[in-house]
Structure formats: structure tokens, C-alpha cells
């Protein structure tokens, strides 16, 4: 009932030549029946990648956006600029933004709102650190990250947000949450949304953190895992298309 979604986060990787080669390979390999596929290159390559994709098989997303509409915000990119480029998705609150660029729950909520106001679908990242998991507060941390966005947006708008559960300890480390650990947190997130009044049965919750072609099928077999947010493995066409095929 919830169509699977696989999103590639290219992070700060790529070049005109490498993007061209990667998209050409993806166009050959991807069979996106039954799965929606999004790639998120750096801002400066959005137009190039959008033009290379040519057809609607792959959608294009950005990796962040400004919470402001326009004006004196040097270095920032607004939601309406993303929409202008035909960018239909944006990742918000990635742990690298939260830890490295001061994106608090409040900032993240305003960015999610800015995305929705611009007609760009937000992918809200949430997740706990290893210390938080070891201290037994993973649900508390993730729950408050979810609550901050739901209370800022209201329940109606919150149902348009895609969530990505990305345990910080699994991002780029080669350590994946077990399918059972991931399913448990996804079920917790969906329940938290329901308790807040969001009609959450249609809300997609992606898993992110060292997803590969090897572990994707088991993760996707879990009832509350609706796809993946993929970092490293999205830079290799064979691996990324195999993850999409597993969805
Ligand atoms: C990410 O950056 O969102 C991510 C999940 O990275 P990786 O797949 O490399 O762990």
C-alpha cells in the first residue's frame, strides 16, 4: 500500500563528468517498477542532473534548503529556487547538518515548513547517536525530533512529510541497524505520529545507515520500512540500482 521510495544522498561528491557517467549508468540499470527513485546531488549540479535524467524515471532532490524565503542570506538556497529547478524533494535535518551546522529541532522544523510552502517534499531525518542508544534514550531523542516538526507544522501538513530514521552510529560506518532494530524504531515513529493525531498509515518512513545491495532486502521486508535513504552506496550505479530492485 505504501509504495517504496529509495533516495540517494550524494553528499558533497561528484563533478560534471562523474555525474554524467553515473546518471547514464543509472538510466541503463534502473527498473523502477514498484519503487520511486530520487537522487540528491549537491545544489550546483541539480540542473545538470535534472537535464541528464531527461525522463521521469528518477526524481531530483536537494540535500538541504534555507528556512528563509529570500533576501540577505549569503550562501543559502531557498525552497522556491529548488522548485524553480524542477527539484521535487529535499532532505532536511540530516545528522551531518544537525551536528556540523547547528540545525536544532526548531531550525529543522522551520526548514520542513519552508519546503512545504515551496511545494518541495521534505524528507525529515531523525536518529540517535550511539551514546544515546547505549544510555537507553533512543526513543526519547527520536520522539522529540518528530514531535518538534509535528507541533510546528500541525497534523495536516505533517502527513506530507517523509521521514528517514537514520541512527547516527550507522551513517557511513558500515554498521547497519538490524532489520529488527530498524523495524522497532519505525513502528515507534509511526505510533508517535498516530498519537499526535497525524494520519500516519500513509506516511513513508525510510531507513538510512549503511544500506547496501546486501542488506536492503531484509530491511525492506519489514512492515514499517518503506524504503531507504542511501549515502555511500548511491554513488555506485550497480549498488544503487540493486537496492532499488530490492525495494
Ligand atoms: C546518509 O548519509 O544519509 C547515509 C545513510 O549514508 P550511508 O548510506 O553512507 O551510511
One digit per residue, the tens of pLDDT, for the chain of length 247 reads 799 999 999 999 999 999 999 999 999 999 868 899 999 999 999 999 999 998 768 999 999 999 999 999 999 999 999 999 999 999 999 999 999 999 999 999 999 999 999 999 999 999 999 999 999 999 999 999 999 999 999 999 999 999 999 999 999 999 999 999 999 999 999 999 999 999 999 999 999 999 999 999 999 999 999 999 999 999 999 999 999 999 9
pLDDT of residue 56: 67
pLDDT of residue 31: 83
Ligand 1: does its nearest atom lie under 6 Å from the Cβ of 232?
A: yes
Place of cell 500516519: 200
Rounded to an integer, what distance in angstroms lies between the CA atom of residue 77 and that of residue 217?
36
We report the CATH number of the domain holding residue 230 as 3.20.20.70
Residues contributing to the annotated binding site for substrate: 9-11, 172, 210, 231-232
Does 180 participate in catalysis according to the annotation?
A: no
If one counts the domains in the chain, the total is: 1
Rounded to an integer, what distance in angstroms lies between the CA atom of residue 29 and that of residue 214?
17
Does 186 participate in catalysis according to the annotation?
A: no
Phi and psi at residue 9, to the nearest 5°: -100, 105
Domain that holds residue 93: 4-246
Ligand 1: does its nearest atom lie under 6 Å from the Cβ of 209?
A: yes
Q: To test the ligand 1 pocket, which listed residue (94, 164, 215, 229) has its Cβ within 8 A of the most ligand atoms?
A: 229
pTM: 0.97
Give 58-93 as a DSSP string.
Answer: EEEEES---SSSSSS-TT---HHHHHHTT--EEEES
Rounded to two decimals, the ipTM of the complex is 0.97
Closest atom of ligand 1 to 230 CA is 8
For the chain, give percent helix, strand, coil, nearest 5.
Answer: 50, 15, 35
Phi and psi at residue 74, to the nearest 5°: -55, 130
- Of the listed 25, 94, 180, 186, which one is catalytic? 94
pLDDT of residue 48: 98
b/e map 50-73, b = 16+ CB within 10 Å: bebbeeeebbbbbbbbbbeeeeee
- Of the listed 96, 128, 166, 186, which one is catalytic? 166
Amino acid at each position: 500500500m505504501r509504495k517504496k521510495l529509495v533516495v540517494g544522498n550524494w553528499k558533497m561528491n561528484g563533478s560534471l563528468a562523474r555525474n554524467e557517467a553515473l546518471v547514464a549508468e543509472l538510466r541503463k540499470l534502473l527498473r523502477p517498477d514498484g519503487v520511486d527513485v530520487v537522487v540528491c546531488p549537491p545544489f550546483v549540479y541539480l540542473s545538470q542532473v535534472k537535464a541528464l535524467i531527461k525522463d521521469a524515471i528518477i526524481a531530483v532532490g536537494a540535500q538541504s534548503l534555507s528556512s528563509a524565503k529570500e533576501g540577505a542570506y549569503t550562501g543559502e538556497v531557498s525552497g522556491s529556487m529548488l522548485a524553480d529547478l524542477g527539484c521535487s524533494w529535499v532532505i532536511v535535518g540530516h545528522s551531518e547538518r544537525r551536528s556540523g551546522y547547528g540545525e536544532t529541532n526548531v531550525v529543522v522544523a522551520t526548514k520542513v515548513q519552508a519546503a512545504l510552502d515551496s511545494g518541495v517534499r521534505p524528507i525529515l531525518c531523525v536518529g540517535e547517536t550511539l551514546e544515546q542508544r547505549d544510555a537507553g534514550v533512543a526513543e526519547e531523542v527520536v520522539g522529540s525530533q518528530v514531535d518538534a516538526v509535528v507541533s510546528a507544522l500541525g497534523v495536516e501538513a505533517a502527513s506530507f512529510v517523509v521521514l528517514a530514521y537514520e541512527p547516527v552510529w550507522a551513517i557511513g560506518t558500515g554498521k547497519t541497524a538490524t532489520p529488527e532494530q530498524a523495524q522497532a524504531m519505525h513502528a515507534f515513529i509511526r505510533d508517535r505520529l498516530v498519537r499526535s493525531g497525524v494520519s500516519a498509515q500513509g506516511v513513508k518512513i525510510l531507513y538510512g545507515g549503511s544500506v547496501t545491495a546486501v542488506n536492503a532486502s531484509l530491511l525492506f521486508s519489514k512492515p514499517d520500512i518503506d524504503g531507504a535513504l542511501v549515502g555511500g552506496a548511491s554513488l555506485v550505479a550497480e549498488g544503487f540500482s540493486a537496492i532499488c530492485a530490492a525495494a
